[in-house]
Amino acid sequence: MTSSHEGARHRYSSLQNRLIGAILTLLLLFSMGIFTIQVLQSRDALVDRQRAEINNLAQSLSLSLLPFVRQDDWMGSRVLMQSVCDGGAVSRIRLDSTDGDHSVVIERSATENSPAWFRHLVPIPRISAQRMLSGGWMQLGEIRVEADEALAYAQLWALARHLLLWMLLGMALAAVIAVVCLRQLFGPLSRLSRRLEEMQLQGFETTLPPSRLRELTGITEAVNRLGKRLNDQFEAQAEQVVRLQRLAERDDVSRLGNRAYLVRAMDDWLAAPVGGSAMIIRIDQLETIYREEGFAARDTAIRAIGDYLSGLRIGDEPLMAARLSASEFALILPDLLPERRDQQVEAILDRLDDIVDANPLALERKWHARAGVVPREPGLGRVTLLSAADTALREAEEEDKRWIVTKRVSALDERGRHEWRQVIETALTQHRYHFVAQPVMMNSGGEYHREVYIRLEEGGQEHLASAFMPVARQFQMADRVDRCVFDWLAGWPRLPNFRLALNLSMDTLVSQKSLDDVIRWLERHPRWAALLDMEVNGEVVVRQRENVERLFRSVRRLGTRVGIDRFGRNLQAMPSLIRLRPDYIKIDQTFFVRDNVNAEFLHSLCIAVHQLDTRVIVTRVESEEHRERIVELGADGFQGYLTPSQPLLPIGND
């Protein structure tokens, strides 16, 4: 969005510049008119004066030459004519006798002190005067005097130069006064324009200050009313989206998610390069409460359990919880060390026992809640995880244990986290990695960008980001992975003819130094910045909103587009959209293709996002049927198996 506004500013001149140009043009026209009139009037005055002088000179010279001509003293006539020609503004004097036997011509060549183009533009007519020399009734001769034009041109050129100098000084002074006055007048309008652009990028939450100019007061008030109306519309639309989501995915009794929510949450969790564990809890005491005290008591206990689980946070991360049946609940635990995970599971079960225990102060604690826990492994799907967790729960009941954690079955995950840390450290240090890119296609058929993924290399084996990024995050190494991507891009011999999308990690947004490094890198590489899309996950927006705002605000000025990935997870980032105003959001396809979700909810989500001029991109689209479904619901583009990843090589090295 920023680049389009800057392009518009370059294509269209400002109103202030146009007015200054118009004022200068009018000043120039008026000045040139005055200059022309003054020069022409001065020329006419010079011509009249010179004509009078030449006539007077011819008359006086004819009288003075008469005695010489009577005595046939032509030499004396020449001397007199020469003296007159040397001392006057005369270029040529000619004396002819009546009989034609004698002729005296005196000429004087003058230096031209004016340019030829000026003499061509302002011509001065040739001035001459003739007089007859009469001796009574007899004519003795004729004298002809021609004026010197060079002197007139020199005087006129000196006058023109002075006029031109003063005209330029006057125009410059008038231009300065016009610029100062127009800037004073258009200052509020310029501030209003800049503020409107900022509001378009950052939202309409803040109002414009009132203007002191009467003409702009109405505009400012109208913009503030429009901004408030847009805010209210978006908030109403966002509330409707959340309300529809709750109707579709919330259990009314516990106020937790239902099975539909669990399906979407687990699919979204499994699609992201994160770790963690799936956990199913069964509380048989709820059946006992129902038999002994009835529905109301059981629902009260379930609601208390829901309040506890919905407010539970491990670290800074909220827990995803859902109710599966009358006495079963499912949780998705974050990525924790085994010891910490067992402590957390025990604390959760203890609290649930206290909620449903009729006598929580008894000396001997009874186990009412039991659990089956399955750590996430590469390749395990949602159905497999839930089946394994249910099996572990039954084993815990049969063996009279509070919980059982299933053993890992993947050979890839048998290595410890510290060993994984060494693999990541070695790969980053020795540059043993490569990149692939997956295109994002718009419904129109055009490519929006290509998202970059990193692959680590180890002894001929390739590790996907989903395998090592949870460990990198745990050891706060994810920002180093991001820096590797930027360093690799800086080494490209030539820029690509397509856009690339980079998904920044939580570590980069948490660390002010890492965030500053990203912004400075983009400032040092402005051509790259215009070809990159920076995106962050929805949970990063929720937990690091201020830093995300700073990132988006800084990179937009460089022409970089911004987006939010994994937006559909609980829609917790929905309230932040109006301030962040991303260029696009990415939502997992499970959010769109489930048959048990109301289409009105999904359509309302797209409408709300489109109000901010934000595109909706659906990820992990697996079939043409899914693509048609998301288009029908209002999404703008897709990414997934229909657009497979391809190796990404530096342009110019192929």
pLDDT digits (tens, 9 = 90+) for 220-244: 777 778 777 777 777 777 677 667 6
Nearest 5°: phi and psi at 332? -115, 110
Confidence band for 361, pLDDT divided at 50, 70 and 90:
low
- The rounded distance, in Å, linking the Cα atoms of 124 and 147 is 11
Q: Given this model, what pLDDT does residue 448 score?
A: 95
- The rounded distance, in Å, linking the Cα atoms of 329 and 285 is 13
The yes-or-no verdict on residue 351 having pLDDT over 50 is yes
Domain-terminating residue out of 127, 143, 172: 172
Q: Distance from CA of residue 336 to its chain's centroid? A: 39
The yes-or-no verdict on residue 91 having pLDDT over 90 is no
The answer on 435 and 392 residing in a single domain is no
- The rounded distance, in Å, linking the Cα atoms of 544 and 175 is 51
Q: Is residue 180 part of a domain?
A: no
* Most confidently modeled range among 75-84, 146-155, 483-492: 483-492
The dihedral over CA atoms of 96, 101, 102, 105, expressed in degrees to the nearest 10, equals 60
The answer on 552 and 440 residing in a single domain is yes
Domain count, the chain: 3
- The rounded distance, in Å, linking the Cα atoms of 457 and 463 is 6
CATH number at residue 523: 3.20.20.450
- The rounded distance, in Å, linking the Cα atoms of 317 and 625 is 35
The pair of structure tokens assigned to 373 is 């826990």
The answer on 493 and 451 residing in a single domain is yes
pLDDT tens profile 3-13: 444 444 444 45
Domain-terminating residue out of 386, 410, 434: 410
Q: Is residue 307 part of a domain?
A: yes
SS3 459: coil
Q: Is residue 196 part of a domain?
A: no
Is the alpha carbon torsion for 485, 491, 493, 495 positive or negative? positive
Element (H, E) at 27: helix 15-70
CA distances from 42 to 60, 369, 512 (A): 27, 112, 75
The dihedral over CA atoms of 452, 551, 275, 277, expressed in degrees to the nearest 10, equals -140
Q: Is residue 181 part of a domain?
A: no
SS3 453: strand
The pair of structure tokens assigned to 536 is 């962050």
pLDDT tens profile 597-648: 556 777 878 888 888 889 999 988 888 888 888 888 889 999 987 888 899 9
Q: Is residue 53 part of a domain?
A: yes
The answer on 498 and 519 residing in a single domain is yes
Domain-terminating residue out of 393, 410, 427: 410
Looking at per-residue pLDDT, the higher value among 259 and 282 belongs to: 282
CATH number at residue 376: 3.30.70.270
Q: Given this model, what pLDDT does residue 211 score?
A: 67
The answer on 320 and 437 residing in a single domain is no
Q: Given this model, what pLDDT does residue 200 score?
A: 61
Q: Given this model, what pLDDT does residue 449 score?
A: 95
Q: Is residue 534 part of a domain?
A: yes
CATH number at residue 87: 3.30.450
pLDDT tens profile 556-608: 989 999 999 988 665 667 777 877 889 999 988 776 665 555 567 778 788 88
The answer on 163 and 98 residing in a single domain is yes
pTM tops 0.75: no
The answer on 510 and 396 residing in a single domain is no
Q: Is residue 541 part of a domain?
A: yes
SS3 433: strand
Average pLDDT, rounded, for the chain = 82
Rounded average pLDDT over 136-165: 82
The pair of structure tokens assigned to 182 is 């127009």
The answer on 632 and 555 residing in a single domain is yes
Q: Given this model, what pLDDT does residue 330 score?
A: 94
Q: Which amino acid is at 640?
A: G
The pair of structure tokens assigned to 155 is 């005087």
Element (H, E) at 550: helix 545-556
Q: Given this model, what pLDDT does residue 131 score?
A: 84
Is the alpha carbon torsion for 130, 132, 133, 139 positive or negative? positive
Based on the number of CB atoms within 10 Å of its own CB, is 219 exposed (0-12), middle (13-18) or buried (19 or more)?
middle
Q: Are 616 and 635 in contact (CB under 8 A)?
A: yes
**Residue 92: domain span:** 15-172
The answer on 335 and 402 residing in a single domain is yes
CA distances from 142 to 132, 528, 585 (A): 4, 90, 103
SS3 12: coil
- The rounded distance, in Å, linking the Cα atoms of 451 and 622 is 17
The answer on 525 and 403 residing in a single domain is no
The answer on 318 and 265 residing in a single domain is yes
The percentage of residues in the chain with a pLDDT greater than 70, rounded to a whole number, is 85
pLDDT tens profile 183-200: 777 776 776 777 666 666
Looking at per-residue pLDDT, the higher value among 38 and 585 belongs to: 585
Alpha helices in 136-206 (DSSP H): 149-202
Q: Are 128 and 87 in contact (CB under 8 A)?
A: no
- The rounded distance, in Å, linking the Cα atoms of 373 and 347 is 14
The answer on 96 and 46 residing in a single domain is yes
Q: In what order do the strands lie in the sheet with 128-135?
A: 103-107, 90-97, 138-147, 128-135
- The rounded distance, in Å, linking the Cα atoms of 189 and 17 is 13
Q: Are 111 and 32 in contact (CB under 8 A)?
A: no
End-to-end CA distance of the chain: 33
Q: Is residue 165 part of a domain?
A: yes
